[in-house]
A and B are shown apart, each in its own frame.
Chain A
Amino acid sequence: MKTYAKIALVGNPNSGKSSLFNQLTGLNQKVGNFPGVTVDKKTGICPITPTTSVQIIDLPGTYSLYPKSLDERVVMDIMANPKDKSYPDMVVVVVDAASLKRNLLLFTEIRDLGLPVILALNMLDVAKDSGINIDKSLLQKKLQVPVVAINARTGEGIADLKNTIAQHIPATKEVTNGKVHSFIDASIFAPEVVGQIKDVFGVHNDYLAIQYAHQAESLPFLSLSEKEQIEQLRQKYNFKHSLLQAKETIARYERIDELIGQAIREEQKEEKEDLSTKIDKVLLHPFWGYVVFFTVLLLMFQAIFAWASYPQDLIDGGIAALNEYLQSVLPESMLVSLLTDGLIAGIGGILIFVPQIAILFAFIAILEESGYMARVVVLMDKWMRKFGLNGKSVVPLMSGMACAVPAIMATRNIDNWKDRLITIMVTPLMSCSARIPIYTILIALVVPDTTVAGFLNLQGIALMAMYLLGFLAAIFSALLMKVILKAKGRSFLIMEVPVYKMPRWGNVGITIIEKVKAFVLEAGKIIIAISIVLWVMASYGPSDKMERAEAEIKTEKPYLTEEALANEVASRKLEYSYAGHFGKWMEPVIKPLGYDWKIGIALLTSFAAREVFVGTLSTIYSVGSDTEDTETIKERMLKETHADTGLPVYTPALAFSLLIFYAFAMQCMSTLAIVHRETKGWKWPMIQLFYMTALAYVSAFVVYNLLK
């Protein structure tokens, strides 16, 4: 494999780093993981001259090398370890020219680690508008690194940046080995500790040495005994972490002031309010702010329901047609059945959710890109905190309405562990798109399709109520966990509120592709694996009864037409299969909720993915599994009666009991797998599985017995 020079992109959040990354790499990017942590590692290959390409590594946005969250820690882990696979040959620090001073803090830290740096000066136009003029060449002289003016949104200056990278790459080695002038002398803060660490660990750089002392516990490449050694040094020389960090930060800002004082000229404009401040007067208004937010939410709902149904119908029809075609041209065999009923049906079950997930993340990406999401965090923080969550939990909870898998991945920017854990634990209670088919059919079964108060459809209200129920369950579970769980570290909100800007549609597109990919790959592989297991369970039985099913029905009901016969046989076969046996075996457990063994089979099959429920029911009730037509299944379900009493099975009590069960139960292996990955263990996913199942069972029991 060809090896490329590695260029790391570093910068503050909102500095335009992601836009620059997208400009440099386009769609030619890969998302992987940094080893040992679950933080996304985005890399891409970028041609900088006709003959050379470099690898661009996008590092998480951070304000300094002292990390506050999981994401931010990655930056320090890499910068401090020259042996790391991602250790860059050169760093491009992206800075927002409008708040240059604050942005330069991180730049000086990275430069003091001795890394070759290029400074990408972004958003000069915005800075100019607010009266800040920057003398680029003077800045370059003062900072003694190449400074390139870019506009990451329009792509201006990108070619210039590529040239500058190309010019400086061969010089890499000379720069790292030689003396780099540093902005501040780190050794003065703790001369003995710095000296000893340099000797013992063979570190050449003063600033790196003091960072060893500051962050020994969390640096993954240090061994336990090395960490102890550093701890002893710290105690011996009375190393005061917080005090020294504060001193360093202040010293850096003083130095930055000295250096850029002349290069930056601020016009003392009239006290004019910028556009963002004006917009915020409405969007952060104590009353109108919330009105706007809920309107946005409503619009999002509308989009998910109304717009997504067209592509969904197309996918549904396409998969059904493909299956029908394959079944008609291929000889009937177990293998073909595995392909069509197992594999393709499983893939169809995944693809059907892509439109909703794409639309929801389009919304979320636009809200984030425009800068509005930060306002939502501010507006909602106080309310979310009452329930043990945090303003930053809003995005995961909203994403949870499409799919819990990308939603749980979106919790990574919550820096407080307890807040993040609670968000992860309750997000699957939000009604995801996989629950919609179940809600739709059960509501159609028992809620009349009438209009009340002139324009409100009763079934629509029932569906809304299910969403509300999921949300309420989520926040009240959070409240409970807030009381039970012990706090670990303090929770901060201190957060930059970016200026409003037009979303860059390219960035929105890339986010959508990324999230859909995450869903298809992460959730998809598990759903497919389980659909195959379930296919085996439904296609094989413990005895040869399954083979005799056809003959049985032919003797019982010789008058059936060919199609009706096939449907009855499928139903009977399912009864005799392992899945059928399992359903009967678990009947005593689910009887108190009003379910019989047939529903038991559906509960079992929908464990992998909830949406399988409807398909299974149609097989059980022998309406043929190809019929995804709600009306047919509904008619058949209404006719279903108890074998012993002759009373209908689908009473309102049972339907509501099932609705509640599906709203609360943790029936999604993919979510459990993601929670396992994000919490690094089986403890939390198991607790989640247990508490959600218990909640579902108890609530369904109560509902059934109240309505019975």
Chain B
Amino acid sequence: MAHPQKSIADMSIGEKGVICCFQDEDMSLKLLEMGCLPGTEVKMSNKTPFGGPVCIKVSGYALSLRKDEAATIMIR
């Protein structure tokens, strides 16, 4: 399988993806608890200007995270 190249931070509004893995161990612990599990579908719903936090839909609810935090979640 190809190495994942794209993260949630790269998604555009309305785009969907499936979480494949995390690039940051610390962050992944928190994200797992929040229901961001590998294999879960996410959808980008909002972005704030100048690289501010983004909002995604995951496991049936809305989650906001900073752009650099979103960049640690890889999608396929």
- Tell me the A residues contacting B by CB distance below 8 Å: 63-64, 66, 68, 98-99, 101-102, 105, 130, 132, 242-243, 245-246, 249-250, 253, 276-277, 280-281, 284, 286-287, 289, 374, 377-379, 381-383, 391, 490, 492-499
Contact = CB atoms under 8 A, between A and B. Distances in A.
B48 A286 contact: yes
B33 A249 contact: yes
Contact of B28 (A63, A246, A286, A391): A246
Given A101-B35, A378-B52, A379-B52, A494 B62 contact: no
A377 B50 CA distance: 15
Contact of A284 (B32, B35, B46, B66): B46
B48 A378 contact: yes
Contacts of A287: 49
Contacts of A490: 26
A483 B6 CA distance: 33
A140 B67 CA distance: 40
Contacts, number: 114
Interface in B22-59: 25-35, 37, 45-53, 55, 57, 59
A494 B71 CA distance: 12
Main secondary structure of the interface of B (DSSP, over half): mixed
Given A102-B61, A280-B46, A381-B66, A250 B55 contact: no
B4 interface: no
A518 B62 CA distance: 33
A493 B49 contact: no
B17 to A, nearest CB: 15
A286 B52 CA distance: 10
B63 interface: yes
A249 B61 CA distance: 19
B61 A493 contact: no
A99 B27 contact: no
B34 to A, nearest CB: 6
Given A242-B29, A284-B46, A494 B63 contact: yes
Contact of A63 (B33, B47, B53): B33
Contacts of A494: 27, 30-31, 34, 63-65, 69
B47 to A, nearest CB: 7
A102 B31 contact: no
A456 to B, nearest CB: 30
Contact of B53 (A101, A130, A391): A391
A276 B51 CA distance: 23
Contacts of B30: 68, 492, 494
A355 B59 CA distance: 43
Given A98-B60, A102-B61, A382 B33 contact: no
Interface of B: 25-35, 37, 45-53, 55, 57, 59-66, 69
A496 B62 contact: yes
B44 to A, nearest CB: 12
Greatest chain B CB density within 10 A among A66, A102, A280, A286 is at A102
B63 A289 contact: no
A149 B46 CA distance: 33
Contacts of B28: 246
Given A284-B48, A382-B48, A495 B63 contact: yes
A253 B29 CA distance: 13
B48 A496 contact: no
Contacts of B69: 492-494
B61 to A, nearest CB: 4
B53 A99 contact: no
A101 B34 contact: no
* The 3 A-B residue pairs with the shortest CB-CB distance in the complex, in nearest-first order: A382-B52, A102-B35, A497-B62
A512 B26 CA distance: 37
A275 B50 CA distance: 26
Contacts of A496: 34, 61-64
Contacts of B32: 246, 249-250, 253
A665 B11 CA distance: 47
Given A246-B29, A250-B32, A496-B34, A378 B59 contact: no
A250 to B, nearest CB: 7
A495 B64 contact: yes
Nearest to A248: B32
Contacts of B27: 492, 494
Contacts of B37: 250, 253
A211 to B, nearest CB: 15
A494 to B, nearest CB: 5
A245 B29 contact: yes
A243 B25 CA distance: 8
A25 B48 CA distance: 40
A292 to B, nearest CB: 13
A370 B16 CA distance: 28
B25 A497 contact: no
A492 B70 CA distance: 11
Nearest to B47: A286
A499 B31 CA distance: 19
Contact of A381 (B45, B52, B59, B61): B52
B49 A286 contact: yes
A403 to B, nearest CB: 29
21 contacts: A99-B59, A99-B61, A102-B34, A102-B35, A130-B60, A243-B25, A246-B32, A249-B33, A280-B62, A287-B49, A374-B64, A378-B46, A381-B48, A381-B53, A391-B53, A493-B65, A493-B69, A494-B27, A494-B34, A494-B63, A494-B64
A74 to B, nearest CB: 17
A284 B50 contact: no
Contacts of A378: 46, 48, 52-53, 55, 64
Given A284-B48, A286-B47, A289-B48, A497 B63 contact: yes
